Amino acid sequence: MDRDQSRPLGPLTLRLLTGKPAEMAALQCVLEAAPAYYQAVTGAPPRGALAQSMFTALAPDKTYDDKFVWGLYAGDAMIGCTDVIRGYPTRTKAVIGLLLLAEPWQGRGLGRALTALVEQAIAAWADIATVRVGVATSNAGALVFWRKLGYVETGEVKRAGSELISDVIVLEKPSGSDPVFFHGSLSPELKMRSDPIVKPLVPALSADFLRFFDHERGSAFSDNPEWAKCYCHFYQVPREIDWASLSAQDNRVAMQSRIEVGAMQGFLAYCDDEVVGWLNAQARHLLPHCFGRLRIAPTPLPCEPFEAAVIVCFIISPPWRRRGVARALLAGALPLLASRGLKLVDAFPFKSRASELPADHYHGPLSLFLSEGFSILREEESMTVVRKLLT
């Protein structure tokens, strides 16, 4: 985050954030640079993975299709942020969850500017008639701020809980009424981006694959550091080799070598040239150890192993989960597998529907496979084996 206020303020834009590493780092800096807010609301200084929490927090019964996280930029520097849930608590309302400026930029009218840009964005949603915001009673200055901008208390009060030290007062304002005038702009990135582009893994995309999994640069395991060393190498390794003995560098080198000689297959999902998802789907003879790692008996085949495929892993960047990336990967992969002469594909979704942990769903959900024409082949203790005929 740029803290230098001595030079002229750059043009203000509101940009939709998608979880790129540079964005997440800048967002974390903004949140950490507002300690007075966190002290007032939670009774403690800012700490932990605040940026990640801002992306993943979701209202009940909502999906990430209606979750928006934006950054306020002065030129190229992020100086503020906000998140909004569309269509909550009813279809015609939108909730501003957090609207925050880094403290070096507070007191300059920029909060009003940020609100103006957010209200412009919400006004573009046809079904939204009302904007809501919740204000902690311990944050008295914020209550004055929102009242000045035309927000009126509804009488609703949410009681303090484990994360908040005071009650929260709910205020509302009709969307599009009494706009806060400000001459800023909405970045083209404000709109929801198009569906991901799915590309088969080839040697020319090796750097993209590795960057996605590199813990310091990519988002693959940004919320699961214990798995960050994997590089999707696990199912390539015989059980006779102790997986814990392999380092991240060991796995990275092994996967890079496999990709460069064409011995590793799969599919990458891109959004604006950034990898947001990965599907490990390849011919069965290239994964001779996968059933050993799955700890199940190999599925019987009506064809040769090189004519059958297996799906063993979905990895979706955390901000892109529940936005259709896994479905796009599977839908894009199936015809490409068929075009390679593969006759069938097996997959192994875990029996973990009740779990919210991403680690319990990296095989993909059963419902996804069934919706794409897979049939249940057999039941195992911890997973369901499904199959789809491609020809």
Q: Are strands 185-186 and 12-16 parallel, antiparallel or unpaired?
A: parallel
Burial class, 155, CB count within 10 angstroms (exposed 0-12 / middle 13-18 / buried 19+): exposed
What pLDDT shows up at residue 361?
83
Whole-number pLDDT of residue 74? 87
Among residues 313, 312, 384, the alpha carbon closest in space to that of 352 is found at: 384
The string of pLDDT tens digits covering residues 100-151 is 999 988 888 889 889 989 998 898 888 899 999 999 999 888 999 999 999 9
- Round to whole Å and give the CA distance between 188 and 27: 19
pTM for the complete prediction? 0.56
In this prediction, residue 192 carries a pLDDT of 37
Map out the domains of the chain with their CATH numbers.
Answer: 12-190 (3.40.630.30), 197-389 (3.40.630.30)
Over residues 163-218, the pLDDT tens digits come to 777 899 999 999 976 544 444 444 433 333 456 899 999 999 999 999 999 976 67
